[in-house]
Structure 1
Amino acid sequence: MPYEKFPMWTHKQGEKSRVVNTQEEFDALGEGWSDANYVPPKVHIDAETFQHYPKWVGSVLVHSAEEEAALAPAEPDPEQSDEREALIKIAEERGVKIDKRWSNDKIRTALEAA
């Protein structure tokens, strides 16, 4: 959510503080009114001093883009996905209850036990 300056409190020596809702209202008050509490937002992501690494990726602390890329999940082997589909189909045909999040080995063990 972007920072919004208004509404804001404004102050002047010897005057009662008040809330203004727009820049036009603030300008209409005249000279001497303060917007000292206004702090422009800081963008750190593009700042020269921002450090992208080290950072946490999941439960691992990485120190470079290469380390982060190495943590990315590898693309599934097409042979394994074909085997997985076959195992799931066999389980459905036999009426064996499995969880599709299980590994191929666990599904195979459940089929052998049934």
Structure 2
Amino acid sequence: MFVDPPAPQPMQPGETPPVSSGGGLPSSDTTTSWEFNPDYQRLVMMWRQVLPELDRLAASLDKAYRLARSRDVWDAPVSGRYVEDMTEWRTRLGLYRQAILTSISDQAADTPRWIPAGAGAPHAFS
């Protein structure tokens, strides 16, 4: 069993952008306006779309696996091969889930949550 990587976190109520690192007193020249990075928000939404689908696939496969292992459903020598196949499918689905979620998580870790408004900063999908 794999542990899911950390999910990208959406903007929380009351969350504020980072403080400008311009030294000294703030002035109109050094004040930076920030916006929540829309590319980071897309990663949050992607995680929220993908996770239920992966869970649904795993639940469907687990149900079939449990039924295949039950002697009430099928008691034949060939059933062992199907159980072995389903075990392999479950392993592959776990690896697939890990790869997808790790990819999203890694991209979110490399994408800034806040960007200067109108700065044209590089983003995850550029």
What is the TM-score normalised by the length of structure 2?
0.25
What is the TM-score normalised by the length of structure 1?
0.27
Higher helix share: 2
Higher strand share: 1
Greater Rg, structure 1 or structure 2?
Answer: 1
Which structure has more relative contact order (CA 8 Å, sep 6+)? It is 2
